[in-house]
């Protein structure tokens, strides 16, 4: 086990340093790029905190939509690959027209909404006004 601070706490420290000390002292494209870098560090911190929960939720929903049986893989790498495969299957079914009509369409949309909302929670597009 690694010593403290945790990876998330370290990333937050880097983000704070970039936002408070680096960005204000730069100008032009470098200032912009420093702000982008700070945002990305925050994205990674949020992903570390939420990925396990988001992947398990997505796996459950995809399994139910696609009637795929089985237990969720315990290792995160395997789980990520499995979610990706299921998502690929869903994409193919959509391309075949299976989601053009209710009731499946509504269930697919609800799943995509939740997955999208999880992705946005992590990515949080920059708000600049």
Partner 1 sequence: MSDAGVRAWSSSPEELRSRLHAFIADRSGVAPQRVRVKALQPMAGGASRELWSLDVEIDPPDAVAQRLELVLRRDPPGRSDDSDRTLEFRLLKAAADAGVRVPRVHWCSADAAVLGSPFFLMDRVAGETIPRRLLRDPEYAVARAAMTAQLGEILARVHRIDPDHPDLEDLASASSGVESGRGSVERIAEGIRTLQAEPHPVLDLAERWLLARAPEPKQRVVVHGDYRVGNVIFDATGVRAILDWEISHLGDPVEDLGWLCVRAWRFGNDALPVGGVGTREELIRAYQEAGGEPVDREALRFWEACGNFKLALVFIQQARVFLDGVPSVELASLGRRIAETEDELLNFMEEGT
Q: What SS3 state is found at 61?
A: helix
Token pair, residue 118, equals 């999880």
84 contacts partner 1 (rule: CB under 8 A): yes
CB of 128 to partner 1, least distance (A): 4
The distance in angstroms from the start CA to the end CA of the chain is: 42
128 contacts partner 1 (rule: CB under 8 A): yes
50 and 118 Cβ atoms separated by less than 8 Å: yes
88 contacts partner 1 (rule: CB under 8 A): yes
Phi, psi at residue 98, to the nearest 5°?
-65, -25
102 contacts partner 1 (rule: CB under 8 A): no
Longest Cα–Cα distance of the chain, Å, equals: 55
CA-CA distance, 55 to 83, in Å (whole number)?
Answer: 7
The one among 1, 4, 27, 28 contacting partner 1 by CB under 8 A: 28
Nearer to partner 1, 74 or 127 (CB): 127
68 contacts partner 1 (rule: CB under 8 A): no
Residues that bind partner 1 (CB under 8 A): 28-29, 32-33, 36-37, 39-40, 43, 84, 87-88, 90-91, 94-95, 97, 99-100, 108-109, 112-113, 116-117, 119-120, 122-123, 125-129
């Amino acid at each position: 086990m690694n010593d403290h601070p945790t990876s998330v706490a370290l990333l937050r420290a880097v983000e704070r340093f970039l936002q408070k000390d680096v960005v204000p002292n730069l100008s032009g494209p470098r200032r912009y790029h420093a702000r982008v870098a700070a945002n990305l560090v925050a994205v990674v911190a949020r992903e570390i905190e939420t990925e396990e929960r988001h992947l398990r939720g997505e796996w459950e929903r995809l399994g139910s939509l696609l009637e795929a049986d089985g237990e969720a893989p315990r290792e995160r790498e395997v789980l990520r690959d499995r979610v990706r495969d299921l998502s690929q299957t869903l994409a193919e079914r959509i391309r075949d027209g299976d989601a053009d009509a209710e009731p499946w369409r509504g269930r697919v949309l609800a799943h995509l909404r939740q997955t999208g909302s999880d992705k946005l929670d992590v990515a949080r597009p920059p708000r600049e006004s």
